[in-house]
Chains A and B, each alone.
Chain A
Amino acid sequence: MSASAPDTAAKPRRGFRIDLKTAGPLLALALLVLLGITLNENFLSYSNLTNVLARSSFIGIIAIGATFVITAGGLDLSVGSMAAVIAGVMIMVMNWLIPTMGIGWGVVLAGMLAGILLGGVAGVFNGLMITRGRIEAFIVTLGTMGIFRSLVTFLANGGTLSLNFNVADVYRPVYYDGVLGVPWPIIVFAVVAIAGEIVMRRTAFGRYCAAIGSSEQVARYSSINVDNVRLLTYILQGVLVGVAVLLYVPRLGSASSTTGVLWELEAIAGVIIGGTTLKGGYGRIWGTVVGVVILGLIGNILNLQSLISPYLNGAFQGVIIILAVLLQRERLTS
């Protein structure tokens, strides 16, 4: 993905400098919140805000993985389908273990473990095909996107896989309950985001990702093991998809061929709105978080009003996304 030509534009070296480019996504978020407040008085209610954040957490966690992949000059289109197949397998594993383990947290934990493992394995497969197989990331993950999507349809026999009702009752609190009124998905999203920010800013791995994304050749000459770092980004992505699915399954306790459709595009859109460059070389996790929250709020606001015809929802979404990115691009020229 990365171009060998040197990037002539001066990149901001530190993410903490207060400039308008940094504030771009925050500005868009603030405008959106203002719009929400004017449209509906319940917008700022605690339950609405936790609803939106909890709903956004799946895409958010996946998008944090995508930030690393994209920063290192890669791309993963398979995450939505991967989420669906992981959800399907988790449900099957849990249903299958009930006769031996009984109803309880044991089954749920085994299912969670299976989900994370499968995510990791899927990430290893994507990563190896790209780094060792030397195939374009776009093609590999387009291929696995189709494979995973078909697999879940096949596993569900064209229908829906449903978690055993009793286990679903045990597992349910993972989505609906939380600590001090903050639902678990939001807590996990926050923890993953903070850890991601630290890894991106403060570790060699984060810097290697940016270096590879901005120039693979230079990174290679600087004795960075480009293939291994890239491979790691795809494994991290896979594991984070697994984590997202752990939180998704307890919500409805089912998986079908519609699970996770277009999540890959939402995740990528969140990453780009947040200020990470699509061609790699520069990434910021907190921006991704803001980007994903913006996307979540757009959907929420559309449902909270009757002014815009539901036929135009897609157009409204498109306009907001383009505006959010435009706000940042203008900073570059000023």
Chain B
Amino acid sequence: MKLAKTLLAAAVVVGSLGGIAVAQDKVVIGVSVPAADHGWTGGVNYFAQQAIDRLKVTYPNAEFVFASAPDAPKQIADIEDMVATRGIDALVILPGDPDAMTSAIKQVKDAGKFVTVVDRQLSINGVENLYVAGDNPGLGANAAAYFKEALPDGGNIVILRGLPIPIDQQRFDGFMAGIKDTNLKVLDDEFANWNRDDGFKVMQDFLTRFPDIKGVWTQDDDISLGAIEAIKQAGRENDMFVVGGAGMQQIIQAVAAGDKLTPVDVSYSPAMIATAIELTTAHLVSGVQVSGRYVLDSTLITKDNAAGFLDASSPF
């Protein structure tokens, strides 16, 4: 996060210096994201629109086309329309399903557009000019490091996973590698689909099944919220702790307040879409060099640093 902010600040400063000299025609930037089907993607939509509103003021000659799609075919249709009818110069895309969309995104690149891919790796290397993402293996590894520290003598833990897509696997592998050679025992892992209701159900059943659970890793704060209700219902909130991920405000507030049930969280901010849009716009408007890979850290949020992650205006 810090790295990105520095880069961003540099980009914006350079951009504002060069901006005066470049009095070119309008540039059009297409922004395509998945529909708000859970809290995190909701955050992506919010931060994307917020960035667009802000950048429109900063760069009067930049124009944005924003589209939000519920599935891969719709998202492909969106970007085809952007190229064919809206004449975009650049595309910022968070692909809902990166494997399914790789060839469609490559066509945009082949048509000579600047392509920025956010969060999810395409199946072919070198398609995108700019890649901005969170650190998924790091999210798992940081959570694992906390489990090792909190349970030095080991103990039983359960894992609630997201959806069966590569991101989830990277997080899971990162976590499992982190707890290798410890006495931490994973009793079971089940998919809770990054969804509160499913988090509630899966946790209820884990509680029925296992009388001794010391820790719960949900890797997502939406799942955490459901799991926490199930734990409270069973009256076992003093037996275990829950570690989520993403940095949802509600959870960060609990962390800041020193809640024993949610002692820490791991950041994975949907605001990365805003970083990507800003960098892309700076490049197009002012010719700032931004090509490359930008990976935002998945930081461990504890009681001590939680204040820095609080943002009252964020809907996520």
Chain A interface residues toward B at CB < 8 A = 40, 42, 45, 47-48, 51, 55, 153, 156-160, 162, 176, 251-252, 254, 256-259, 261, 299-300, 302-304, 306, 310-311, 313
Give the distance to chain B from A41, nearest Cβ to Cβ, in Å: 10
Tell me, in angstroms, the Cα distance from A300 to B197 when the chains sit together. Answer: 13
- B45 & A158 in contact (Cβ 8 Å cutoff): yes
- B46 & A158 in contact (Cβ 8 Å cutoff): yes
- A156 & B202 in contact (Cβ 8 Å cutoff): no
- What are 8 A-to-B residue pairs whose CB atoms are below 8 Å? A40-B208, A158-B42, A159-B42, A159-B43, A160-B222, A254-B196, A256-B39, A261-B37
Give the distance to chain B from A94, nearest Cβ to Cβ, in Å: 18
Residue among A158, A259, A310 having the largest count of chain B Cβ atoms under 10 Å:
A158
Give the distance to chain B from A32, nearest Cβ to Cβ, in Å: 15
When the two chains form the complex, which single residue of A48, A160, A162 contacts B208, counting CB atoms closer than 8 Å? A48
Chain B interface residues toward A at CB < 8 A = 35-39, 41-43, 45-46, 161, 164, 188-191, 195-197, 200-202, 204-206, 208-209, 222, 225-226, 229, 233-234, 250, 315-316
Tell me, in angstroms, the Cα distance from A304 to B205 when the chains sit together. Answer: 6
Tell me, in angstroms, the Cα distance from A80 to B267 when the chains sit together. Answer: 31
**Contact partners of B234 in chain A: CB under 8 A:** 47
**Contact partners of A162 in chain B: CB under 8 A:** 250
**Contact partners of B45 in chain A: CB under 8 A:** 158
- B36 & A42 in contact (Cβ 8 Å cutoff): no
Residue of B nearest to A257 (CB): B36
When the two chains form the complex, which single residue of A45, A158, A299 contacts B315, counting CB atoms closer than 8 Å? A158
**Contact partners of B205 in chain A: CB under 8 A:** 48, 51, 300, 303-304
When the two chains form the complex, which single residue of B39, B188, B206 contacts A159, counting CB atoms closer than 8 Å? B39
Tell me, in angstroms, the Cα distance from A311 to B190 when the chains sit together. Answer: 9
Tell me, in angstroms, the Cα distance from A256 to B40 when the chains sit together. Answer: 11
- A157 & B46 in contact (Cβ 8 Å cutoff): yes
Residue of A nearest to B68 (CB): A158
When the two chains form the complex, which single residue of A47, A159, A252, A303 contacts B226, counting CB atoms closer than 8 Å? A252
When the two chains form the complex, which single residue of B35, B164, B200 contacts A252, counting CB atoms closer than 8 Å? B200
**Contact partners of B250 in chain A: CB under 8 A:** 162
Indicate whether A160 sits within 8 Å of B202 (C-beta atoms), given known contacts A252-B229, A304-B208, A306-B188.
no
- B209 & A313 in contact (Cβ 8 Å cutoff): no
- B208 & A51 in contact (Cβ 8 Å cutoff): yes
Give the distance to chain A from B100, nearest Cβ to Cβ, in Å: 18
- B46 & A159 in contact (Cβ 8 Å cutoff): yes
**Contact partners of A313 in chain B: CB under 8 A:** 191
Indicate whether A310 sits within 8 Å of B161 (C-beta atoms), given known contacts A252-B225, A256-B39, A258-B195.
yes
- A303 & B201 in contact (Cβ 8 Å cutoff): yes
**Contact partners of B46 in chain A: CB under 8 A:** 157-159
**Contact partners of B229 in chain A: CB under 8 A:** 251-252
- A256 & B209 in contact (Cβ 8 Å cutoff): no
7 more A-B residue pairs beyond the given contacts A259-B197, A306-B188, with a C-beta to C-beta distance below 8 A? A51-B205, A159-B315, A159-B316, A160-B42, A257-B35, A310-B164, A313-B191
- B190 & A258 in contact (Cβ 8 Å cutoff): no
**Contact partners of A299 in chain B: CB under 8 A:** 201
**Contact partners of A42 in chain B: CB under 8 A:** 208-209
**Contact partners of A153 in chain B: CB under 8 A:** 35-36, 42
Residue of B nearest to A146 (CB): B70
**Contact partners of B35 in chain A: CB under 8 A:** 153, 257
Give the distance to chain B from A143, nearest Cβ to Cβ, in Å: 15
Residue of A nearest to B226 (CB): A252
Give the distance to chain B from A161, nearest Cβ to Cβ, in Å: 9
Give the distance to chain B from A227, nearest Cβ to Cβ, in Å: 34
Residue of B nearest to A311 (CB): B164
Residue among A159, A256, A259, A299 having the largest count of chain B Cβ atoms under 10 Å:
A159
Give the distance to chain A from B237, nearest Cβ to Cβ, in Å: 14
Residue among A251, A256, A258, A310 having the largest count of chain B Cβ atoms under 10 Å:
A258
Give the distance to chain A from B153, nearest Cβ to Cβ, in Å: 24
